[in-house]
Every structure is written in structure tokens, then in C-alpha cells.
Amino acid sequence: MSYQEKKTLASITSGALLLAAYCLYAFNPARTPADLKAWATTMLVFIAIGIGATIIIQIVFHILFSIGVAIQQKIQNNDCDDKDIEKNIKLEMVEDERDRMIEMKSNQVGFAVAGFGFVVALLSLVFNYSPVVMLNILFITFSFGSICEGIYQFLLYRRGYSHA
Amino acid sequence: MPNPIVITNNIRKLRFFANEMTQQELAEKAGASRQTIIAIEAGKYSPSLELAFCIADAFGVSITEVFSHEVKE
């Protein structure tokens, strides 16, 4: 599995963990806040946690990936020095036009899911659901959109991508 | 609507005739990642015109010697 595929899996994992944690909180009647302000605060906290968790997961992933490449290099050639290992790590992490193209394609999926969620959230208001429901639909579909984006990105790396 | 085009390539053959050039070496010469070269060679990715020319330059041949196309009926 390539660096990009592993990075995408790390991103999907962090997104899924955040969504799962939020759902556990939001759908627990014992702990759920009552008013709109409290919900907004909760969501802001979860967004902050999400950003922090994503950064930490990516850092840990980079460290583990680099260690993995170094170990693999040492097993293949015990005489290789640190410069060779460093060069190999850099080569594995190169991003080019294919990565950018796949990222753009998967972004479209993410935006489509988030857009659909926005419409559903507006419909919930039209059908007289509380603004709390609307806020939750927005948060959950945006998070879900980010996961879908990651899954589609992973699929494109596995299946290949053609301009046709 | 025009018929779909299938793009094939001779990268594996050209690498063989270039003293068994590795995918990593070709990637470095063409300015792409090794994964992209692997994907192009396997027919899983059609490169941009710029990258296609860079790959041809890496072998010192014309682009038509690296890539060819076939129109599906």
C-alpha cells in the first residue's frame, strides 16, 4: 500500500472517530444539551477536537510511516546509511499530478454529500423540526461527507483513475 | 459523441531496453512519483500531456513511441 493510500486511511479513521464520538454524545439523552447555544458550543468543541485529533493522527502516522520505511530499508540493505533512508522516505512522500487529480475528484464527492446534507437540514426547518435537528443534520452530514471523500479517494487510488 | 479511446503504453518495454531502468529512476527523471509510474504502466492512470512528454524525454524517444491509442468501436 502506498504512502498516499495509508495517509487517506489515517484521515478516514480520524474522521470516523470524530463522527462516532459526536454521535455517542448527541444521541445520549442523559448528556445532551437542551438549548441551541449549548449545542453550538458542543459542536465548536467537537470541531476543535477534530482538528486537534487529525493533526495528532497525521503526525503519528508520519512518524510510524518513516520508521516503517527505515526498517524495511535496513532489512533489504543493512549497509545503507541515514541519508539513503531519508532520501527514500522523501521519495515515498512525493505528491504529483495524479494525487492532485484524485484529491479534486474526491473533493467533489465530499461537497456533494455536504450539499445534500445542507438541503436536508433546510427541509427539516420547512417541516417544523427544531433548529437543533437542523444543526445536527448539518454537522453529521458534513462529517460524513469528509469520510465519503476519504473513501472515494482511497477507491480511486486502488482502482485507478482515467480522464475518460 | 465520439467513441471512447483506450490509451496503451510501452513503458515496461522501454524500461527494459534502457538497461532495465527502475520505476523509481523513471519517476525521478520524469518528475513524478513512483506510484504514478506504476499506475501508468498498469494502465490505471492516463497522464497529462506534460507528464507524457517528460516520460518520453526520459527515454529519449518521441511520445508516440511511448503511448498509443485505440478507438473502441
Q: How far is A150 from chain B (nearest CA, A)?
A: 18
Q: What local confidence, expressed as pLDDT, does residue A19 receive?
A: 92
> Mean pLDDT across the stretch A150-163?
87
Other beta carbons within 10 Å of A121: 21
Mind listing the pLDDT tens digit for each residue in A13-72? Answer: 999 999 999 998 888 877 666 788 888 888 899 999 989 988 998 899 889 888 888 888
Q: Structure pTM?
A: 0.82
Q: What local confidence, expressed as pLDDT, does residue A159 receive?
A: 85
Residue A53 belongs to a domain: yes
Mind listing the pLDDT tens digit for each residue in B17-71? Answer: 988 899 989 999 998 888 899 999 988 888 999 999 999 999 999 999 999 988 8
What residues make up the domain containing A41? 3-159
3-state secondary structure of B5: strand
Q: Which chain A residues contact residue B47 at CB under 8 A?
A: 97-98
Residue A164 belongs to a domain: no
**AA letter at A127:** F
Q: Which of B27, B44, B48 sits opposite A97 (nearest CB)?
A: B48
Sequence-distant contacts of B24-33: CB under 8 A, at least 24 apart = B24/A91, B26/B55, B26/B58, B27/A91, B27/A94, B28/A91, B29/B54, B29/B57, B29/B58, B30/B54, B30/B55, B30/B57, B30/B58, B31/A96, B32/A94, B32/A96, B32/A97, B32/A98, B33/A91, B33/A94, B33/A95, B33/A96, B33/A98, B33/A99
Q: What local confidence, expressed as pLDDT, does residue A30 receive?
A: 76
Helices (H) and strands (E) in chain A, counts: 5, 0
Residue A10 belongs to a domain: yes
Residue A35 belongs to a domain: yes
Interface of A to B at Cβ within 8 Å reads 2-4, 91-92, 94-99, 159-164
Of A2-6, A83-87, A136-140, which range is least confident? A83-87
Q: How many domains does chain A have?
A: 1
What is the distance between the alpha carbons of residues B66 and B15, in angstroms, rounded to a whole number? 11
What is the distance between the alpha carbons of residues A25 and A38, in angstroms, rounded to a whole number? 13
Q: Find which of A37-46, A72-81, B1-10 is predicted with most confidence, using mean pLDDT.
A: A37-46
Contact assignment for B43 to A160 by CB distance below 8 Å: yes
Residue A18 belongs to a domain: yes
Q: What local confidence, expressed as pLDDT, does residue A1 receive?
A: 81
pLDDT band at A163 (very low <50, low <70, confident <90, very high): low
